[in-house]
A and B are shown apart, each in its own frame.
Chain A
Amino acid sequence: MSPLQACLLFSSALFSLGLIAVLVRSNAILVLLGVELMLNAANLNFIAFWRYGPAPAEGHGVVFVVFALAVAAAEAAVGLALVIALHRHQRNVRLGDARRLHG
């Protein structure tokens, strides 16, 4: 197994863990953290491909991760603010209860 494959397996496992957390847990904060893990797994892929890709000197992967981190920070801030707003409205943070928009 080449190092690149190992890195990719690592990120796949991390991504699946995040996905399972999103699917199984009902607490909105943990769901959000699961999404964060999935995002981290994607960043991991960028770095892995940058490291073993055809043009590491170009640094595309690193640049992309910088932007992804910035967006992740924004996402976490807004997401957790949403959780707090959710808590204010329904007195708990169970995602399954937040379905007032259903048809």
Chain B
Amino acid sequence: MIALAAIALGTLAAAAVALALRDLIHSALLLIASWVGIAAFYLWAGAEFIAFAQVLIYVGAISMVVLFAVLLTRPPTAPATPVRSGRTVPGFLAGGAVLGLLAGAVLSSPLPAGMGAAPAFGVRELGLKLLGPHAGALLATGALLTVALLGAVVLAAGRGKEDAP
């Protein structure tokens, strides 16, 4: 429980600060920290494979893409995108209300208590599941990833000179 509390607090703090900072590079670096925290949670929960996947995909890949996007889209002059005050209050209101509702629902629902041993569900079992009953979905995911990659390249590459900056 103490480990969980530490992981949760670290992750949440990193995420909260990341989303409040003005400098996008700092935000991105702190978000990577928060993704590492989530990976730590997966490890704590006994889902090692997911933890490694999280590190590989988020900490390794998505963070790089985010950093590139930040650098590519940085305004040439000083960063001039302040948080617009007009949306802050309703945004926090909505977020707080959602948090309140979710927390209320979690605390008031009858949930199984107690902590059993970590279930034995290793990479071997996961692989059998993925290639057995979920083989079709796995293929579809592969197709989706391919299409998304091609689409991203087309989108980011643009159509040529006429709409280059």
Complex contact flag A–B (Cβ < 8 Å):
yes
- A-to-B contact residues, CB < 8 Å: 2-10, 12-21, 23-27, 29-30, 33-34, 36-37, 40, 43-44, 47-48, 50-53, 56-57, 59, 62-63, 65-67, 69-78, 80-85, 87-89, 91-94, 96
A interface, by DSSP: helix, strand, loop or mixed?
helix
Question: Are B5 and A77 in contact, with the CB atoms below 8 A?
Answer: no
Question: Provided the pairs A2-B113, A80-B69, A85-B158 are in contact, do residues A23 and B94 lie with their beta carbons within 8 angstroms?
Answer: yes
Complex alpha-carbon distance, A92 and B82, angstroms = 13
Partner of A19 from B16, B94, B121, B155 at Cβ < 8 Å: B94
**Candidates A29, A48, A59; contact of B45 at CB < 8 Å:** A48
Q: How large is the interface on B (under 10, 10 to 19, 20 to 34, 35 or more residues)?
A: 35 or more
Using a Cβ cutoff of 8 Å, how many contacts connect chains A and B?
Answer: 234
B160 CB, min distance to chain A CBs, angstroms = 11
Identify B4's interface contact among A6, A20, A74, A88, CB under 8 A.
A6
C-alpha gap A92/B34 in the complex (Å): 27
Known contacts: A9-B103, A16-B98, A70-B144. The answer to whether A29 contacts B53 by CB under 8 A is no
**Is the CB–CB distance between B50 and A84 below 8 Å?**
no
Give chain B residues whose Cβ lies under 8 Å from the Cβ of A75. Answer: 148
Q: Are A20's CB and B115's CB within 8 A?
A: no
B111 to chain A, nearest CB (A): 5
A12 to B129, CA, bound (A): 29
The reply to whether A65 and B50 contact each other, CB–CB distance below 8 Å, is yes
The reply to whether B47 and A65 form a contact with Cβ atoms under 8 Å apart is: yes
Cα of A55 to Cα of B58 in the assembled complex, Å: 28
State in angstroms the CA–CA spacing of A20 and B89 once bound together: 10
Residue in B62, B116, B145 whose beta carbon sits within 8 Å of that of A36 in the complex: B62
Residues of chain B contacted by A47 (CB below 8 angstroms): 41-42, 45, 47, 50
Is the C-beta of B152 less than 8 angstroms from some C-beta in chain A? yes
Q: Could you tell me the distance between the alpha carbons of A34 and B31 in the complex, rounded to whole angstroms?
A: 10
Q: Measured between alpha carbons, how far is A63 from B53 in the docked complex, in Å?
A: 12
